Structure 1
Amino acid sequence: MHKFLVVIALAGTMLSAPALAKEVKIDDLVVVTSMPAAQRDAAIDATNAFYQFWNTGDEALLKAAIAPDFTDHTLPPGRPQGPQGPAFASKRFRAAVPDLSVEVRKMVVAGDYVTVHMEFTGHFTGSFGQVKGKGQAIDFIATDLIKVSNGRITDNWHIEDNLTLLSQMGVAKVEQ
């Protein structure tokens, strides 16, 4: 078997599975890898399903995307570890922002790792803790580093711009 390096940069790429309620639009996809095309495509498909889950809250997409031994390496306090963690987070977040949407701005595939930079948008019309939304626009960024093995996400390291999110919700004050 020959090893080869594949570099793909696609602007405005739309990756989707048929009959899904929402698609994940990927503004920029870069693939740098020597893995076989089938393995590369499986990593992209798992990643795409994960962000379609964040778009829809559909736990069938989450189950298809992540491995049973999934580990969140940057687990926030109160969130369960394992596959139930993202489901828990999605339910809580959707209670606050029912129209939550995610757009992947950059996706870089390199071997078993995928780095995803995304933008979350919606309106704070629900509740977050003791705070009730008043329809405020929500628009913040996040970045994930995920590891994909056998077509499923096994590990996630993530960082979110929580200061922007919490200030938009009126939970945190940011001095100008």
Structure 2
Amino acid sequence: MSKTPSETVRSLYDAFNSNDLEALREVIAPDIIAHLPGTSADAEHPPGTPRDREGWLGVWQFTQAFFPDMQAEVQQIVETGDMVATRCVARGTHSVEFMGAPASGKVFEMTMLNMSRVLDGKIVEHWTISDNATMLAQLGIKLSL
């Protein structure tokens, strides 16, 4: 029996929270279009550039390097057709230098809204909106504009 779109998305969070890269590859289509805010500063992938599976996993690994204990708790999930929306809270600890700020041991908590389109048990398109400004404020990191 195949998974519902909501079950597929829950598998994504389970794999993320258990740091299981291969399980992530199982639920994310290779040619996914992942819309991730502010994830890169390189010339090839300016912030907000859609990513494929390996690009999204690279961003995920980058995040895990800075916040190895980060977990995402799904607080609400809504499915309509092939679309799944989730509201979750991500929590982690500032345990290594991040954006020039030395590790502080401070814990952050930020809200994330995600929407995924699922076909044949794979996530084929994904959008993320995360409250990075609140996370940075909780860690005491000030942005210069």
Superimposed CA distance per residue, residues 141-169 of structure 1 (whole angstroms, 9 cap, x where no aligned partner): 10001000011000011100011111122
After TM superposition, the structure 1 = structure 2 runs for residues 121-160 of structure 1, keeping only pairs within 5 Å, are 121-160=91-130
Query: Structure 1: how far apart are the matches of 2:23 and 2:102?
Result: 29
Q: Which has the higher strand share?
A: 1
- Alignment pair present for 1:117 and 2:87: yes
Counterpart of 1:52 in structure 2 is 14
Deviates more, 1:162-171 or 1:145-154: 162-171
Determine if contact 2:33/2:51 at 8 Å carries over to the other structure: yes
Query: Structure 1's 75 and 137: CA in aligned 2 closer, same or farther, altered over 3 A?
Result: closer
Report how far residue 85 of structure 1 moved.
2.6
Superimposed CA distance per residue, residues 99-157 of structure 1 (whole angstroms, 9 cap, x where no aligned partner): 11110000001100000110011211112232222100111110001000011000011
Query: Structure 1's 160 and 54: CA in aligned 2 closer, same or farther, altered over 3 A?
Result: same
Determine if contact 2:95/2:104 at 8 Å carries over to the other structure: yes
Counterpart of 2:4 in structure 1 is 42
Aligned-residue RMSD, C-alpha: 1.9
Gaps of 5+ in 1: 1-37
Counterpart of 1:87 in structure 2 is 57
Deviates more, 1:128-137 or 1:74-83: 74-83
SS of the aligned residue for 1:127 comes to coil
Percent identity between matched residues is 25
Matched letter for residue 59 of structure 1? L
Q: Select 1:62's aligned residue among 15, 24, 29.
A: 24
Normalised by the length of structure 2, the TM-score is: 0.83
Determine if contact 2:67/2:94 at 8 Å carries over to the other structure: yes
Gaps of 5+ in 2: none
